[in-house]
């Protein structure tokens, strides 16, 4: 009797955990929305949020109508489930938990595609292909794996969806991004159309992207662990789901640090997700050592994937969806055949190549990868070409430049009340690399070098004679404190300071973003305005030049205006003499 009671308690307990896991997977929709929004430009944020909301809602409709039946209906020849409407006709005996659990996974597959096609896809087109993925593409291949189809009968293993979800979504993203074409300005091309340069489009809000990664990581414990059938198995899954992404992120950080000179933030965020994707299929059959190797490969594979798309395939993927989900979905699926071990709780039959199991399991995993890729590639390609030929897949160039928030949704900004200027790859200029003057010390620099570094633009007779002068200093942000100090030392008691944007001959950026060098575009500057009369204007100019000087052309610029005439006109001659005595 005691044993029966404990079995009943365990059954109820894991039934509740199953639904909690489904809720965690649903919460991952928020994570995908935050990652995609953060890694793209501000002018498209509202569109991205709308898409991530609607792919779940549209997916629910399509899953009710046909998707659930194709996935978990009575097996027909190992290919599809028998469609039905039991949710309406036999609700009292319906598998409510299975429906909700599989629905949230279906929505995850559809939302992966959104990131790779962000910033230039029509919203209507997105709704259509998202519906096709939820109604047809995902349910059929998932039936092969989890619904009793031919892959399940063969012995293929994908515990939580490296193949069924991530690889499918990532491959759809790759095909969609290729058909859609890159964002305007992403690739520079010569007259023949060959890519000569890849341009970086930095994400507008990395804190938002980072929050999304943490949300996804939390949700992944439900993603991988919800189907566990024992406490021991659940604990092991949590361990592997923690180790793989952590190792992937560390490996990616070290590699980008060595390769690019500095650890790449956005690439490391991608690496965390890559490790999670890679461990999703083998999370229940791998041990700690296997998880370390799986994660390490994922951390390198995601960097390779981003490079491959940018520099070889010329496919524009704003968020790294293809590198994260497709490439690591394939890797994670094959990793089952390499790292499965019977020491993992609940695994009594599967043994990978590296644990003495031979090539049998690895071969089955490879067949599964090829089969699912073939189905996905054919159906999603047909879908995209039909959309392109009918309603159109891509927005116009004008709409893309203005932003999808305004053109597709009538939303002026997703950040109402905040002033946001999108300076990424707008007003890109050609820069002269030879700005070094060969002397970083102001005192030992020649007059020619000083004037080349900080140019002084004077009004006629500005530096001579008495009167009131306005001096405008354009400075780098990094030199502002030094300029302020020397002005105070001179006795200047008032300054007007404004943050401005500008560009000149000096190169403003040589940093790397996701392995791509960022161009110098509009650079943040400080405009300092001072008005002097008793303090010699020449002293102000000399002090400012010394503070701005770093030994490079374009360190700053100084404008000097004689404002005597303006003051005389506005105040009258009788008040002008008094004003001259006031600093």
Name which of 88-92, 148-152, 573-577 the model is least confident about: 573-577
3-state secondary structure of 93: helix
- Tell which wins on pLDDT, 430 or 297: 297
**Global pTM?**
0.78
User: What is d(CA 549, CA 541) in angstroms, rounded to the nearest whole number?
Assistant: 12
Q: Are the CB atoms for 31 and 107 separated by under 8 Å?
A: no
Q: Are the CB atoms for 362 and 337 separated by under 8 Å?
A: yes
- Tell which wins on pLDDT, 323 or 73: 323
Residues making up the chain, counted from first to last? 583
Q: Taking all residues of the chain, what is their mean pLDDT, rounded to a whole number?
A: 86
Nearest to 470 by CA among 370, 422, 541: 541
User: What is d(CA 22, CA 104) in angstroms, rounded to the nearest whole number?
Assistant: 7
The confidence score (pLDDT) of residue 500 equals: 82
% of the chain at pLDDT higher than 90: 57
The confidence score (pLDDT) of residue 431 equals: 39
- Report whether pLDDT(465) > 80: no
The residues near 55 (Cβ < 8 Å, ≥ 6 apart) are 29, 107, 110, 111, 114, 126, 130, 134
Nearest to 40 by CA among 215, 216, 202: 202
The residues near 512 (Cβ < 8 Å, ≥ 6 apart) are 200, 260, 261, 262, 264, 518
How confident is residue 169, by pLDDT bands cut at 50, 70 and 90? very high
Q: Are the CB atoms for 49 and 29 separated by under 8 Å?
A: no
H or E element, residue 143: helix 138-146
Q: Mean pLDDT across the stretch 103-107?
A: 91
Q: Are the CB atoms for 81 and 75 separated by under 8 Å?
A: yes
Determine how many CB atoms are found less than 10 A away from the CB of residue 5: 9
**227-258 burial, b if ≥16 CB within 10 A, otherwise e?**
bbeeeebbebbbbbbbbbbbbbbbbbbebbee
- Report whether pLDDT(324) > 60: yes
Nearest to 302 by CA among 337, 266, 261, 257: 266
Determine how many CB atoms are found less than 10 A away from the CB of residue 399: 15
């Amino acid at each position: 009797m005691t044993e029966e009671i404990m079995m009943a308690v365990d059954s109820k307990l894991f039934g509740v955990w199953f639904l909690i896991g489904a809720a965690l997977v649903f919460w991952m929709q928020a994570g995908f929305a935050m990652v995609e929004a953060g890694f793209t430009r501000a002018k498209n944020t509202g569109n991205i949020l709308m898409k991530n909301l609607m792919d779940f809602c549209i997916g629910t409709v399509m899953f009710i109508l046909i998707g659930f039946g194709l996935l978990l209906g009575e097996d027909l020849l190992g290919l599809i489930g028998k469609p039905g409407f039991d949710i309406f006709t036999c609700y009292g005996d319906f598998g409510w938990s299975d429906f909700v659990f599989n629905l949230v996974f279906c929505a995850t597959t559809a939302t992966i595609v959104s990131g790779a096609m962000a910033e230039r896809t029509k919203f209507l087109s997105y709704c259509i292909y998202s519906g096709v993925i939820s109604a047809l593409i995902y349910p059929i291949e998932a039936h092969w794996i989890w619904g009793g189809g031919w892959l399940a009968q063969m012995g293929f293993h994908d515990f939580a969806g490296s193949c069924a979800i991530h690889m499918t979504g990532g491959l759809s993203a790759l095909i969609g991004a290729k058909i859609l074409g890159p964002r305007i300005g992403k690739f520079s091309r010569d007259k023949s159309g060959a890519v000569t340069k890849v341009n970086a489009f930095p994400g507008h809000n990395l804190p938002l992207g980072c929050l999304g990664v943490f949300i996804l990581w939390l949700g992944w414990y439900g993603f991988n662990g919800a189907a566990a059938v024992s406490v021991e198995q659940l604990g092991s899954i949590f361990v592997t789901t923690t180790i793989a992404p952590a190792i992937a992120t560390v490996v990616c950080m070290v590699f980008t640090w060595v390769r690019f000179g500095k650890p790449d933030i956005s690439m490391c965020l991608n690496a965390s997700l890559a490790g999670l994707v890679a461990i999703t299929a083998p999370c229940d059959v791998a041990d700690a050592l296997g998880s370390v190797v799986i994660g390490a490969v994922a951390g390198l594979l995601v960097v390779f994937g981003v490079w491959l798309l940018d520099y070889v395939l010329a496919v524009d993927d704003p968020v790294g969806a293809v590198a994260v989900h497709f490439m690591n979905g394939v890797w994670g699926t094959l990793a089952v055949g390499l790292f499965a071990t019977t020491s993992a709780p609940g695994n009594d039959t599967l043994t990978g190549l590296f644990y003495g199991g031979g090539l049998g399991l690895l071969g089955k995993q490879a067949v599964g990868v090829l089969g699912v890729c073939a189905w996905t590639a054919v159906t999603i390609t047909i879908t995209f070409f039909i959309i392109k030929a009918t309603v159109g897949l891509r927005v116009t160039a004008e709409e893309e430049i203005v932003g999808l928030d305004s053109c597709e949704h009538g939303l002026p900004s997703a950040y109402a009340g905040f002033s946001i200027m999108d300076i990424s790859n707008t007003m890109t200029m050609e820069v002269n690399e030879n700005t070094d003057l060969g002397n970083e010390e102001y005192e030992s620099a020649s007059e020619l070098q000083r004037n080349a570094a900080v140019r002084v633009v004077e009004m006629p007779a500005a530096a001579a004679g008495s009167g009131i002068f306005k001096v405008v200093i354009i400075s780098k942000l990094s030199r502002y404190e030094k300029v302020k100090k020397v002005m105070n030392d001179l006795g200047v008691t008032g300054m007007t300071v404004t943050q401005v944007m500008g560009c000149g001959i000096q190169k403003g950026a040589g940093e790397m973003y996701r392995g791509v060098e960022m161009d110098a575009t509009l650079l943040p500057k400080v405009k300092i305005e001072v008005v002097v009369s008793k303090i010699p204007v020449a002293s102000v100019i000399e002090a400012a030049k010394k503070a701005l000087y770093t030994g490079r052309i374009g360190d700053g610029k100084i404008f000097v205006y004689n404002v005597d005439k303006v003051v005389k006109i506005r105040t009258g001659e009788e008040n002008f003499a008094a004003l001259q005595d006031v600093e």
